Each structure stands twice: as structure tokens, then as C-alpha cells.
Amino acid sequence: MTEWEAVIGLETHVELQTKSKMFCGCPVDFGDEPNTAVCPVCLALPGALPVPNREAIEGILSIGDALNCTLTEDSLFYRKNYFYPDLPKNYQISQYTFPLCVDGHLDVDVDGESTTVGITRVHMEEDTGKSTHVGESGRIHGAEHTLLDFNRAGVPLVEVVTEPDIRSPEQARAYGMELQRIVRALGVSDARLEEGSMRFDANISIRPVGSEELGTRSEVKNVNSLRSMQRAIAYEITRQIEVLESGGSIHLETRHWDEAKGVTKPGRTKEDSADYRYFQDPDLLPLHIDDAWRERVRDRRPKLPAAKRARYRELGADERAADLLTDAGDLGGLFESAVAEGADARTVAIWLTGEVVAYLRREETEVGETSLTASSLARLAEMTTGGDLSATAAKEVLAGVLAGEGNPRDVAEARDLLQISDVNAIEAEVDAVLEQHPQALEKLREGDPKPIGFLVGQVMRATGGKADPRMVQDLIRKKTQE
């Protein structure tokens, strides 16, 4: 029985979050109304000329830098020619030879084991418009006609191509997650698969273990979550093994993932790359990225997710909390600043990954839109460790701060949650309780520890839960010995 090995390469498209499109000033942030963010350039009207968006070039260079690529000194735009109406020019401006970033790598943890995925290239191109196929099937096959909306045509698009270094669906997913974290950390894209601002295509082939030769690959498209990418790749590996083991052969083809049925289905047979008749776009000047520019890109590289995770662990967050804080970009920053202001790391990590994450999900909001700040977290942590607030009360205060009720002290006062830290006041309550329960006091004095819980409970009730239970217990012990 042959043992098979999967060989997987990923192509990832990332839409950059610039204000304007790649080659014209049309807005990238458009509504649902079709063809309202278009102009002579992105509609390919005669005589219109493209001019590259500098911010988009900065964006792709940041991505290439974060993926440990060499930033190409002299780079060119090409025309990729094809006949499909989603771009009105009949070609897509893309890159071919001399892409902006080459020869990088990304380290990815799979089940606690570190692996490295080679990055072949990262190149700049433009997104296409959206086609709606109208007809009974709602699909391209059997459509009566097609409607075109060019709002998305010309949005800056970065393509990241890996080496065929990936060996399992799990590794593919881990790579996808890490890449998503990186582009979010760089602030160049929101990288949402479900909204199409990040899209994965997987090239998959199998070969007998030990073989160096690559098998014929199929390309799987249409995965709209990292989970479905993992499922689609796993399905495709099984399918290819079954085909080969039953004496069949794999065809070079594009296959579409059907999420509902959990299968890939054949699409068009792949054109070879010569069919795109790539040639340099004469409308666009060469790009020259000099040493100074490369240095600027390196200098502004923010702390990347892998470094952040390590840092949060170092500060005292546990593994799960460190992952959560890294994924929720703003929360990690908040964590670091609060700890810098003296807050206890473990306490803050627990609040952020517990109450705060739950609140943000429930209210469908971002932490930046709430009144929670690093200082308020630090104050809250201080009040808790200082004995002003019980752990339970602290969570209630946190909810109040998130809801915009004010700073922790105001919320604690308004909600009447401050613990009584005045020893004399608590002592008076303790005395009153002991007076009401002489038998309990007697038992304690005789060395029976049982009544202590009852007595503490009575004092807590008398103070409306605002006494520090530990202090109450100490006071009762002291009275016993009098």
C-alpha cells in the first residue's frame, strides 16, 4: 500500500485598506449601490491613464518586509490579458517578472511544533469587479446574461504566493491564521475572509512519501473561512488518493469548494500561464525602491504577532490568554499599557480575555469604541489588589466602565461596591454579630473552628457584602482570643 504525502501551496489575495483605488482616486469604501465608485480609469474609458497609489505600495512593502522578503529594487507592472468582463480593460494590471517582494518565509506553529513556509513572492495588482450571473441556475453555467458592478474594480490587491512547502490541512490553516494576524497587525487590511478582503486559493497535489517529484495539482477556490480551507484541502487530498489508487489520474484543473455539501467540484481546466500573454504595461513607469525606502519600511515595522505572543507570555499572561490578546489587536495593546502602568498582568489578562471579550461580542463593538482605557484597567487592578473591591465587585465595575458609566472609582461608588476598609467600622459590625450569637463565639473559644464561616457570613450580610471577608475572619479570630 502506497503511503501518500500532500504537497500544498497557497495563494492569498489581500485587499488593502487604502482610501482610494490602486490606479485612480475612486473611493475604496463604497456602499451597495452598483457602479457608484467608478471613473474613466477603472472603467477603461479611452485615453484614461493609471497612476499608482503610493500608500498601496507602502502597504505591500510592509507585508513583504513582515514576511522576511527581499524588497526588489527595480520592479515592474505587467498586463495579464484575459477575456472575462470583470475588468473592463480586458487585462488586469499585475506583476510578473520582478515582483515587489521575493524569497521570504513565515514561521508557523502547528500543534506546538514550529514549521517554516517559504514565500515565493508578494506582488501588487488590482481587484476585479463583481459579476452577477442572472438565470435560473444563478450560476455561470446556464446563465442568461451577466450584470457587472465595477465598484471593486481597481481596489489595491496584494497576492502572497507560498512555496509548495505545506504538508497538511492543519498547517495550511495555521499559515492562514498567522498571515491574517500579520496583515491586521500591520494595519493594511481588515483581512476578513467572509467579506472577501482576504481570499485563499490552494494548490494541492499528492505524491508517494519519499518521492521528490511533484504530482499533478488541482487548485481549490471559493473557501470563505479558514475552517473551510482546512476542510477543502483535507477533502481534496482524500479525493486525489482515491483517484490515484483506483487507477485514475489527476487533471490540472480549478475546483470549487461547496461548503454545504463539503466537496470540491470541477471548474474550468486551467489555462497555462502563457495564455495570459503577460507583457509590461507601457502606461506605468518602473518602480524603484532604493535603500532609503527599504530602510524606512524596516524602521516602521510594528511588533508582529509572534513577538507579541512571546511578550505577553513574558509579562505573565498564560498561553491561551496570550493567543487571545494577540488575535484581538487592540486588547493586546491595552494589556501591555495597563501592565506598564503597574497593573497585575494575570488579573488584567483574565478580565480582557473574559469579561471584555464577552462584552465586545455581545455589543458587537470594538474596544476602541468603549470607554475602557489602560489607565482605567490599572486603577481597577489597583483597587482590587488594595482591598477596595472584591473580585466579583471588580467585574461589575468593569462592566460599568465598559458601558461608559465613568472611571472605576466613580462606578464603584455609584454602584455602592466599595469594600469597607475602615477597620473600626468592620470591628463594630463584628462585635454586634458576636453579641447576637454567643453560642457560636463560645464554640470557637472551645477550639471548634466550624462556626467561623457562619459568623463571617453574618458580618458580610450586615455590611451588604462590602467588607473584606479576610479582614472579617481575622477580626473574629482576634475576638476569640480575647
Partner 1 sequence: MPVEIDIERVAHLARIALTDDEMAAYGKQLVHILEHAERVQALPTDGVEPTSHPLPMVNAFRSDEVTDPLSRDDALAGAPDVEDGYFRVPKILDE
CA-angle at 43, arms to 87 and 144, nearest 5°: 55
Distance CA 41, CA 23 (A): 7
Rounded to the nearest whole angstrom, what is the least distance from the CB of residue 278 to partner 1 in the complex?
Answer: 12
Query: Looking at this protein, which amino acid is placed at residue 310?
Result: A
**CA proximity to 166, closest of 204, 220, 122:** 204
Closest approach of partner 1 to the CB of residue 297, in Å:
15
Q: State the cell numbers at 277.
A: 500573454
Which residues contribute to the site for partner 1 (CB under 8 A)?
A: 18-20, 24-27, 33-40, 43, 45, 51-57, 74, 76, 81, 83-85, 131-133, 135, 140-141, 143-150, 275, 277, 280, 282, 284-288
Find how far residue 408's CA is from the centre of its chain. 30
Own/partner pairs, 130-138, CB within 8 angstroms, 24+ separation? 130/86, 131/85, 131/86
CA separation for the pair 303, 353 (Å, rounded): 20
- Minimal distance in Å, beta carbon 93 to partner 1? 14
342 grid coordinates: 503597574
Phi, psi of 167 (to 5 degrees): -115, -10
Task: Look up residue 480 and give its three cell numbers.
Answer: 476569640
Grid cell 461580542 in the structure block, residue: 361
Q: Using CA atoms, how far apart are residues 134 and 470, in angstroms rounded to an integer?
A: 71
CB of 119 to partner 1, least distance (A): 24
Residue 166 contacts residue 11 (beta carbons within 8 Å)? no
3-state secondary structure string, 375-411?
HHHHHHHHHHHCCCCCHHHHHHHHHHHHCCCCCHHHH
Q: Smallest gap, in angstroms, from Cβ of residue 320 to partner 1? A: 38
Provide the H-helix boundaries in 316-356. Answer: 319-327, 329-340, 345-351
Give the nearer residue to partner 1 in terms of CB position, either 209 or 274.
274
- Which residue lies nearer to partner 1 by CB, 155 or 420? 155
Least Å distance, CB 304 to partner 1, is 24
Please state the length of the chain. Answer: 482
Q: How far is the CB of 148 from partner 1 (least distance, A)?
A: 4
- Chain-centroid distance, C-alpha 67: 16
Work out how close the CB of 84 gets to partner 1 at its nearest, in angstroms, rounded to a whole number: 7
In the chain, what's the furthest Cα-to-Cα distance?
A: 101
CB of 62 to partner 1, least distance (A): 14
Q: Give min distance, CB of 90 to partner 1, in A.
A: 9
Query: CA angle at residue 225 from 366 to 256, to 5 degrees?
Result: 150
